[in-house]
Amino acid sequence: MTQAAILSHSTRPPVDYSKKWWVLLAVGLALFLGSVDGSIVNVAVAPLMQSLHADFPTVQWVILSYLLTLTLLLVGMGRLADMMGKKRIFVTGIATFLAGSMLCGLAPNVYWLIGFRVLQAVGAAMVIALGTAILTEAWPSQQRGQVLGLAAGFISLGIVLGPVAGGLILGALSWRWIFYVNIPIGAISLLLVLLYLPPMAPQNRRERFDFLGAVVMGGGLLAFTLAMTAGQNAGFTDPRILGLLAVSILMLAIFIVVERRVQHPLMDLSLFRVPAFSLNLFTATLAFIAISGVVLLLPIYLNLALGLDMTRVGLLMAAVPLVMVLLQPISGALSDRLGTRPVSLLGLFFILAGYLTMTTLQLDSSQVGFVLRMLPVSIGMSIFNSPNNSAIMGAVPRTRLGVASGILSMVRTLGQVTGIAALGAFFASRVVHYGSVELDSATPQAILLALHDQFFLVAALILAGIVVSALTWRWEMRTQAGKASAPLQPMTDRSAIAASADEPNFHG
């Protein structure tokens, strides 16, 4: 081993990987809990309206308050963890989420419930922002794809079981139990984290938290998410919505200026100069927008165009996350052997083929035919997600894992919000184009044709992602070839050697 390698290695304490499976179980249960909670509440809108004597717009804020709070805090929580320690923030997050769940179950009216959902989201932000970072650090780098695939399996399982569990609970008990059910699972996760998660001491203790950057970024995200959610009803040409979008763009510009001037920025903008980080984030955003916008609309086709009852609709829609539960761990392990780029690119091609195939859906398509057309999309998301996340996390230094994980989680949430809002508005406009004024009174033919247009649009988005991913792969191969042909230079400056220990890993 060279002197440079010895000194670089000495800058990091050795990591004990003997408890990595227990760490996966602890973190996986917490992520599972977050995904279950997100989907289980969605099926309780009608019972909440009846029990709390509230109208639909007010009950919607039970869901929106959680989503908005989560989006605003993800990056900040990741940054705090880099400064204070991932275990400390993660444990606090689980405890806060459990307290919020208990209070949500005890809420006397809908306004208290909305407030307690905000508290619950604060805890969820700590958990979701750090799950990927903790697993990246607690598992060997050569198994990063495998563990992130397994973690994604926990999330997908929660998405599958959330509506099913919600239906069973609401059929037998009151709505309060959809929050109480979090407590035993969360308690197990908390115990496992306390027992098996290593300390993960931060290396940025002397840095200060960038409160100004957090406020500016939070204001911009709040304006954007409000524009996306309110724009679905008011219309995206409404002056108020355009004003919110203008505010979000202005806040983004101010945020960039602030982050360049502060000594310890909330978000290290230099990360975005690494193509393996920024371009993979861009590709992930396109995939999240595409899948969320389509998943929102397929139940409309199944229910209003094919005339299926909601029970069958739920079972058919469960096919997507169920396939992801099974395949994401496999694709993650495969990327550890073959590399993240070819596997994630293969996944994008599957998604593209799936959306093009779904343009052949008709009004007389069978349920089996629907599942078979959805299968390539499900397989593609399973193949793409884990390797792409692995490439993103492998492109950042260890001292920035927390904030990188928070950025990845924020991008996922913003992609979902944007996909649901923007693609939902596009779908509604196409329904009007084909002769129907309102979606409730739309003819099956208008719904089908509008959905076909939607599939072509998202296929174009995925095609753009394929082009970006292919160009990134080409850049990576050129970079590796250049490094292989360059002569080795001895490193004598100890500070430069120490800094090299935190250089991004461009190879994913």
Per-residue pLDDT of 438-456, as tens digits, reads 666 778 888 889 889 989 9
DSSP 8-state assignment for residue 142? G
Question: pLDDT value at position 485?
Answer: 59
Which residue is it, tokens 């009004």?
363
* Mean of pLDDT values over 309-324: 73
pLDDT grade for 504, boundaries at 50, 70 and 90: very low
Is pLDDT larger for residue 72 or for residue 438? 72
Residue 498 scores a pLDDT above 60: no
Q: What is the pTM of this model?
A: 0.73
C-alpha to C-alpha distance for 295 and 358, rounded to whole angstroms: 12
Residue 5 scores a pLDDT above 90: no
Residue 38 scores a pLDDT above 50: yes
* Mean of pLDDT values over 163-168: 74
Residue 98 scores a pLDDT above 90: yes
Which residue is it, tokens 């004003």?
243
Give pLDDT tens digits for 9-31: 334 455 666 778 888 888 888 88
Residue 78 scores a pLDDT above 50: yes
To the nearest 10°, report the CA torsion of 129, 23, 135, 157.
Answer: -70
pLDDT grade for 465, boundaries at 50, 70 and 90: confident
CA nearest to 178, candidates 71, 47, 57: 47
Give 326: exposed, middle or buried? Use CB within 10 Å, 0-12, 13-18, 19+. Answer: middle
Q: For 66-70, 236-240, 289-293, which range has the lowest pLDDT when averaged over its residues?
A: 289-293
